[in-house]
Amino acid sequence: MLKAHIAWEGLAQNVIEWRRQMHRHPELSHTEYWTTQFLYKTLSSFPNIDVLTPAPTGVIGILKGNLPGKTIAFRADIDALPVLEKNETTYSSEYAGVMHACGHDAHSAMLLGVASILSEYQDQLKGNIIFIFQRGEEMSPGGAKELVESGVLDQVDMFFGLHLLPALESGVIQIKKGIATANRDTFNIKISGKGGHSSMPHLSIDPTVAAADVVMALQTIVAREIDPRDSAVISVCSLLSGDGTTARLPDEATLCGTTRTFTADVRAHIKEAMERVCTYTSKSHRCTADVKFDEWDYSAIINDPDLCDLAAQAAKDYLGDAFFCFTESPMSVGEDFSEYQAIAPVCFAWLGVAQPSTENPPLHNACFAPDEAAFIHGVKYSIALAEMLVM
């Protein structure tokens, strides 16, 4: 096994340093120019890897084996979030209002670590390995869709993804067979009324009151229209109304957010019900509602059971039984990793990064702070998969 020949301590330090450099320079979806240059330069410094830039941002590395075999792909995402970081560290974000609050910096750093090792073993490869550093996962349409449509990945036989999870014990790899994540649908609702002076509300049609009622009414859909044995989420994440003045009722209010579902039937029912509830709740306030869903959004990841079993064995071989677990519960997050299912079977796993004896804020939180000691486990897991499948 390769693990006996790898200097893990030095590799772990490299991965942490790469992650910290990217953490200092977070960039929003589809604008990851510094990150792309950093990844291109670092990936190019490893032997035997051909480096491509198939989109304005994002990088793909190709390691071609000397012997025939399958082509496997590992995917990391590279974009950050519009979040003002609250952590005070030597590597905190240098860009105000932008933060790697979802761990994409760590995903990329871990994949660099994997590439740095496997590039030294080209002569033992029975097949090919593709390292995907994908742009724009956080913003629909995500970067995976364009990569799939470009044809650059058509030769891949299987895809693997790994994501940090702060609620899971540090260093543990967790996998859900079958449905692993939710369908995500992004919505925007405009409620229109008639503005006027706040001292004479009877001469206006107040969209703010209607919007507040809509927010509450939407929650009845899951509670009263969805089978309790199914799962669904409707989250209104923003309500914008007025311009900050205190004496004028606005003409319109806007709600936006996402839904999360796990089946096609529930997904369709939620959309129909939301349009109905928004229309008639607004009408009861003499307002009108215009409900729009993004034309395209993220579908659920369906993990291939056979790949999951291979991944479990790989994790146990390199990490030990205590650092792997299957789960029966899918995550309600949306992930554009699901797009790669159009090409080949996929396996999407979670890496626990819970800091011992701390609060461990969730993903997308301004205080998100993963346990860096867990990153080397993510690297070992991916190297184990490569050794099992193409070496």
Q: Which of 27, 32, 121, 298 is catalytic?
A: 298
Position 359 pLDDT exceeds 90: no
The pair of three-digit structure tokens given for residue 161, joined into one six-digit string: 């993804």
Instruction: Please tell me the predicted confidence (pLDDT) of residue 314.
Output: 98
Find the mean pLDDT for residues 372-379.
98
Question: How far is CA 349 from each of CA 68, 74, 101, 312, 375, rounded to the nearest angstrom?
Answer: 27, 11, 18, 10, 14
Cβ(193)–Cβ(204) under 8 Å?
yes
Residue at 13: amino acid letter: Q
For 6, other C-beta atoms within 10 Å of its C-beta total 15
Give the tokens for residue 353.
């990064």
CA distance 195 to 289: 16
Q: List pLDDT tens digits, range 129-179.
A: 999 999 999 998 889 999 999 999 999 999 999 999 999 999 999 999 999
pLDDT digits (tens, 9 = 90+) for 86-99: 999 999 999 999 99
Please choose, from the candidates 192, 187, 218, the residue with its C-alpha nearest in 3D space to the C-alpha of residue 283.
192
**Taking the model in full, what pTM does it have?**
0.93
DSSP one-letter string for 99-115: B--SSHHHHHHHHHHHH
- Quickly state the pLDDT bin for 371 (edges 50, 70, 90): very high
For residue 3, the model assigns a pLDDT of 87
| CA distance linking residue 122 with residue 110, whole number of Å | 19
**End-to-end Cα, the chain, rounded Å:** 10
Residue 391, pLDDT score: 94
CB atoms under 10 Å from CB of 265, counted, come to: 12
On the question of pLDDT at 205 being above 80, the answer is yes
Q: What confidence score (pLDDT) does residue 299 get?
A: 95
Count of CB atoms situated within 10 Å of the CB of 294: 14
> Average model confidence (pLDDT) for the chain?
97
CB burial of 37-71 (b: ≥16 within 10 Å; e: otherwise) equals ebbbebbeebebbebeebbebbbbbbbebeeeebb
Burial letters 147-186, b for 16+ CB under 10 A, else e? bbeeebbeebbbbbbbbbbbebbbbbbbbbbebbbbbbbb
- Determine the pLDDT at residue 140: 83
Token pair, residue 256, equals: 């936006």
Q: Which domains does the chain have, with CATH numbers?
A: 2-181+300-390 (3.40.630.10), 183-293 (3.30.70.360)
- What is the reported pLDDT for 1? 80
8-state DSSP, 303? E
**pLDDT value at residue 357:** 77
372 is catalytic: yes
**Letter for the amino acid at 354?**
A
pLDDT higher than 80, residue 25: yes
Closest CA to 278 of 215, 193, 186, 195: 215
The distance of Cα 26 from the centroid of its chain, to the nearest Å, equals 15
Q: Supply φ then ψ for residue 205, to 5 degrees.
A: -125, 105
- For β-strands 126-134 and 173-175, DSSP reports them as unpaired
Instruction: Please check whether residue 42 is in contact with residue 115, taking contact to mean a CB–CB distance below 8 angstroms.
Output: no
Treating both helix axes as pointing N-terminal to C-terminal, what angle do 305-319 and 375-390 enclose, rounded to 10 degrees?
120
pLDDT beyond 90 at 70: yes
pLDDT of residue 92: 98
220-243 pLDDT, tens per residue?
Answer: 999 999 999 999 999 999 999 999
Please identify which of the residues 27, 85, 335, 372 carries the catalytic annotation: 372
C-beta neighbour count of 209 within 10 angstroms: 17
pLDDT digit string, tens, across residues 31-60 = 999 999 999 999 999 999 999 999 999 999
Joined tokens for residue 117? 């090792």
